[in-house]
């Protein structure tokens, strides 16, 4: 899909196509639509990122809370969004042994209790062992740092999803 097509989309089509660039947050796509026209894919990505950056801390935390736990119940039940399912599958999280799944569930619960939102990571760039290592490492980060890190991961996920939708290479990974 080229930028001419993107810029020509009406509101409903734009939100249908780009509504899950930021996990379960079609309102972000709705806000970005109003900023048309977009010069290029990088400009579109920058608008999504600028929206996230402009949110107050409570809004940013709300964005994070829209994300599922990695290798969590939603994966087991098959209730993830199509994008999250592909990303977790690419990371090898669907085929975990019970002990690995239990370990990640314990770490996810500790993380959520500490920070108030789920652990967010661009999973498709990782494998199960690196997901667990990163979760263990980030559990010890100061809350303000972890909020910035988690939002950076949301932006990376969004960048990858935009590249998928536009048929382009993701920028700045």
5-52 confidence digits (pLDDT tens): 999 999 999 999 999 999 999 999 999 999 999 999 999 999 999 999
60 is a domain residue? no
Gap between the terminal Cα atoms of the chain: 21
**Which residues are annotated as catalytic?**
67
- Which residue range(s) make up the domain with 119? 68-153
Which residues are CB-contacts of 121 (< 8 A; sequence separation ≥ 6)?
70, 131, 134, 135, 153
87, burial (CB in 10 Å: exposed 0-12, middle 13-18, buried 19+) = buried
Tell me whether residue 87 is in a domain: yes
Is 43 within the bounds of a domain? Answer: no
What domain count does the chain have?
Answer: 1
CATH number for the domain that contains residue 138:
1.10.3330.10
Residue 125 tokens read as 């760039």
Q: How many CB atoms lie within 10 A of CB 79?
A: 11
In a domain? residue 93: yes
pTM: 0.95
Q: Residues 76-100: pLDDT tens digits? A: 899 999 999 999 999 999 999 999 9
């Amino acid at each position: 899909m080229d930028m001419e097509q993107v810029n020509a989309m009406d509101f409903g089509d734009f939100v249908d196509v780009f509504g899950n660039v930021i996990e379960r947050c079609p309102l972000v796509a709705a806000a970005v639509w109003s900023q048309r026209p977009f010069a290029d894919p990088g400009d579109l990505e920058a608008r999504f990122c600028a929206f996230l950056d402009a949110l107050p801390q409570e809004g940013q935390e709300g964005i994070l809370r829209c994300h599922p736990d990695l290798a969590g119940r939603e994966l087991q039940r098959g209730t993830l969004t199509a994008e999250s399912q592909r990303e977790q599958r690419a990371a090898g999280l669907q085929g975990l042994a019970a002990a690995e799944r239990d370990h990640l569930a314990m770490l996810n619960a500790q993380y959520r209790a500490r920070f108030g939102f789920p652990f967010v990571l661009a999973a498709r760039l990782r494998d199960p062992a690196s997901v667990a290592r990163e979760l263990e490492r980030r559990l010890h980060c100061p809350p303000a740092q972890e909020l910035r890190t988690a939002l950076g991961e949301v932006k990376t996920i969004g960048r990858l999803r935009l590249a998928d939708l536009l048929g382009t290479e993701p920028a700045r990974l």
